[in-house]
Amino acid sequence: MTEPPETPEHARWFAFAQEDLEHAESTLSAEDPVYRWVCVAAQQAAEKAFKAALIRDPDRVSADP
């Protein structure tokens, strides 16, 4: 199975996900991290990465088992 080509929209959402993950990592490495904000940023990163995957290849990501 060949990978679908990247699209500008896919790349944009994946960049958003990377930014959120970097924010989570930065917050985690703080002297006194607020773990709930680390979790929020990490969860947002996961959602945005999933959205990027849906945009790039909607047929490959499905709710059906």
- Looking at residue 17, its pLDDT comes to 97
- Per-residue pLDDT of the chain (65 residues), as tens digits, is 677 777 899 999 999 999 999 999 999 999 999 999 999 999 999 999 999 999 988 887 666 66
Question: What are the phi and psi torsion angles at 12 (to 5°)?
Answer: -65, -45
Domain ranges across the chain = 22-56
pLDDT of residue 57: 87
Q: So what's the pLDDT on residue 51? A: 94
Q: What angle do CA 17, 58, 3 make, to 5 degrees?
A: 85
Distances in whole angstroms, Cα of residue 13 to Cα of each of 1, 2, 30, 34, 55 = 23, 21, 26, 25, 9
Q: What is the pLDDT of residue 5?
A: 76
**pTM, whole model, 2 decimals?**
0.82
